[in-house]
């Protein structure tokens, strides 16, 4: 029972992490402005791609990373609870899913950084 409680708390935390990141990305999609996670001393509290492409891309990648990790954390929690309740015969192998999600994240994040760099140089 204690393992289920730990897994549930971990799942709630990662689910909240994914929810906050998804909310920030949805706000960017609707307004075109991304809220900065750390407010600068001088300057605006929001980032736009046209104003600061590198800073915007780093913030966007941070929220994308947190969303990915939150989703993976919820999947791990689901697996742990299912393993604890039903036993090892119902074990789901999520390793291929983890690899696909992480590779997709790194491809998207790397591509966005390359585009932002070349856009700033040009």
For the stretch 6-25, pLDDT in tens is: 888 888 888 888 888 888 88
Higher pLDDT: 120 or 106? It is 106
Overall average pLDDT of the 86-101 stretch: 73
Q: What is the spatial distance between Cα 48 and Cα 101, in angstroms, rounded to a whole number?
A: 27
Mean pLDDT of 72-101: 77
Q: What pLDDT is stored for residue 37 in this prediction?
A: 63
33: nearest Cα among 63, 2, 70: 63
- pTM, full prediction: 0.67
Confidence of residue 38 (pLDDT cuts 50, 70, 90): low
Digit-coded pLDDT (tens) for 43-85: 667 777 777 777 788 888 888 888 888 888 888 888 788 778 8
| Alpha-carbon gap, residue 80 to 91, rounded angstroms | 9
Q: Give the confidence band of 39 by pLDDT, cuts at 50, 70, 90.
A: low
Phi and psi for 79 in degrees, rounded to 5?
-65, -45
Measure the N-to-C terminal CA separation of the chain; round to a whole number of Å: 58
Residues 33, 55: Cα–Cα separation, whole Å: 12
């Amino acid at each position: 029972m204690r393992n289920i409680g730990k897994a549930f708390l971990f799942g709630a935390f990662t689910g909240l992490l994914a929810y906050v990141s998804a909310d920030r990305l949805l706000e960017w999609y609707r307004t075109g402005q991304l809220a900065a996670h750390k407010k600068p001393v001088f300057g605006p509290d929001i980032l736009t791609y046209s104003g600061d492409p590198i800073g915007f891309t780093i913030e966007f990648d941070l929220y994308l990373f947190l969303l990915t990790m939150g989703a993976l954390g919820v999947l791990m929690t689901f697996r742990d609870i299912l393993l604890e309740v039903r036993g090892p015969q119902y074990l789901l192998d999520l390793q291929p899913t983890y690899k696909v999600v992480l590779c997709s994240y790194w491809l998207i994040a790397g591509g966005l950084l390359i585009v932002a760099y070349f856009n700033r140089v040009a």
